[in-house]
Amino acid sequence: MEGKSFTNFTEFKEFIKKHEEEQHVLFVTSGSKKLINGHPAKESIQYEWLKLVCKQGRATKPTSSKGIRPNQRSWKHDCGAVIRAVIRHSDVTGYQFVITKAILSHENHPTDHLTALVYPENRRIKPDETVDLMVGTKIPQSELRQITRRNRTNVFLERMWKTTGEN
């Protein structure tokens, strides 16, 4: 993954999303710097640099709320997985967003698909994002939109079928 380059941020984001889907992991932003207004790549690449860390490796205080989903507390693990990308420019390529660091080995937590499914982020996934995730599957996009409009339960089920490959 290191050295991989993208011409815009959307392309980068889709690449990361695909990686997360395939590996059953989830990355969250731990730091970033946006390009200044007026920068030639402000619209396309948006960021000067961006650092993503494994959701389960992020240092967070254990939740103090009691009784609600008690196993959430155990989701805090030390994992060193990290992806860093920076903007680069050359006369040949123009502006590019380049992955300069990618540690993709996960430690101290499972990366099976069931674990990925119970991440809070995936539970509250927006219908439109779910459609995006399923691009490339055999289900027609018009049908997907219909399905995801119905309700959030269906959204979750659709996602689960896709992840388990049983649709």
Query: Which chain residues interact with Zn ion by CB under 5 A?
Result: 54, 56-57, 79, 81, 106
- State which residue, 76 or 106, has the beta carbon closest to Zn ion: 106
**Shortest Cβ 23–Zn ion spacing (Å):** 9
Identify which of residues 16 and 54 has a Cβ nearer to Zn ion in the complex: 54
Name the residue nearer to Zn ion (CB basis): 57 or 127: 57
What is the Cα–Cα distance from 62 to 145, expressed in whole angstroms?
Answer: 37
The owner of tokens 């119905």 is 150
* Shortest spacing between CB 112 and Zn ion, in angstroms: 12
- In single-letter form, the type of residue at position 83 comes to I
CB of 39 to Zn ion, least distance (A): 32
Output the CA–CA distances (angstroms, integers) from residue 90 to 41, 43, 129, in the order listed: 13, 18, 33
Q: Smallest gap, in angstroms, from Cβ of residue 57 to Zn ion?
A: 5
d(CA 110, CA 76): 12
| Half-sphere CA count of 86, side-chain side, radius 13 A | 6
Tokens of 91: 């006369």
Report the residue number, 107 or 128, with the smaller CB distance to Zn ion. Answer: 107
